[in-house]
Chain A
């Protein structure tokens, strides 16, 4: 229960940050990717802002034996660069450019523009389900 409340608080902070930073707006995100149009560098400021608490958090994490609310860290340990990582990132970037949306802003927009964002969220979940159906996933 305590874990879920912490996760809810983190989700709230994340969603608030997305909405406040302008990243909930697909046109603004697409404007960042539009180098040959009226380029909007806002996303770079968002990334810069997000890096500061996280860089500090990783420094603190290295000195901690366990997280504050659970018994152990569950962090990705893979270091291998492989084809799925590369192909997945390229496909994700294409979709990001086409719609101006990635998963966080899309889900946050369910509160701001639910009817407008719904087709994207439904398609995104379908894309995730489609990936699961790949033979290599079993």
Chain B
């Protein structure tokens, strides 16, 4: 399915995939009483964070992410991904994402999916700011001829 004017959009796949993500977060909340926040789980799994989920639980969640992606890739005969051609956006972006998500206590999953649906004031502010920052950053990259 496509929408007029948006040649690349995948509304049905996006919505269905979103349901799976929301279901995952619901399992974490109702089953384990925790927020499905990937940055927090990753920090806990690597031992960078001392507090949070039990380490084994965090490792299990983090290991599940690539396994789930692998299952879809095998069933669908591949998942299309296009990466930046230079290593620098990945290195600079990775540093900012790692540092920023720790400082801001969450990312798209914890603040975005879990926090917004909880109507958490902190998550609404964080999500508004990282979206605005993302839009502005890409606009600047485009103006600078870097896209």
Q: Which chain B residues lie closer than 8 Å to A119 at the CB level?
A: 87, 90-91, 94
- In the complex, the number of residue pairs spanning A and B with C-beta atoms less than 8 Å apart equals 501
Please tell me the number of chain B residues within 8 Å of chain A, measured between CB atoms. Answer: 114
User: Across the interface, do A15 and B65 meet the contact criterion of CB distance under 8 Å?
Assistant: yes
Q: Across the two chains, which residue of chain B brings its CB closest to A69?
A: B31
Q: Which of A113-130 contact B (CB under 8 A)?
A: 113, 116-117, 119-130
A67 to B100: give the CA distance in the assembly, Å: 30
A135 to B6: give the CA distance in the assembly, Å: 47
A21 to B61: give the CA distance in the assembly, Å: 19
Q: Which chain B residues lie closer than 8 Å to A104 at the CB level?
A: 38, 65, 107-109
User: Across the interface, do A94 and B96 meet the contact criterion of CB distance under 8 Å?
Assistant: yes
CB-contact partner of A67 in B22, B33, B49, B84, under 8 A: B33
Nearest Cβ in chain B — how far from A88, in angstroms? 2
CB-contact partner of A130 in B81, B87, B99, B137, under 8 A: B99
User: Across the interface, do B84 and A85 meet the contact criterion of CB distance under 8 Å?
Assistant: no
User: Across the interface, do B139 and A51 meet the contact criterion of CB distance under 8 Å?
Assistant: no
User: Across the interface, do A52 and B138 meet the contact criterion of CB distance under 8 Å?
Assistant: no
Q: Which chain B residues lie closer than 8 Å to A17 at the CB level?
A: 17-24, 68
Please tell me the number of chain A residues within 8 Å of chain B, measured between CB atoms. Answer: 116
Q: Which chain B residues lie closer than 8 Å to A24 at the CB level?
A: 69, 79, 81
Q: Given A10-B28, A19-B73, A103-B109 in contact, is the A81-B98 Cβ separation under 8 Å?
A: no
Q: Across the two chains, which residue of chain A brings its CB closest to B140?
A: A97
Q: Which of B17-47 contact A (CB under 8 A)?
A: 17-36, 38-39, 42-43, 46
Nearest Cβ in chain A — how far from B63, in angstroms? 6
> 6 tightest A-B contacts by CB?
A11-B64, A49-B18, A88-B104, A21-B17, A127-B98, A93-B133
Chain A positions near chain B (C-beta within 8 angstroms):
3-28, 30-31, 33-58, 60-61, 64, 66-70, 72-76, 78-81, 84-104, 106-113, 116-117, 119-132
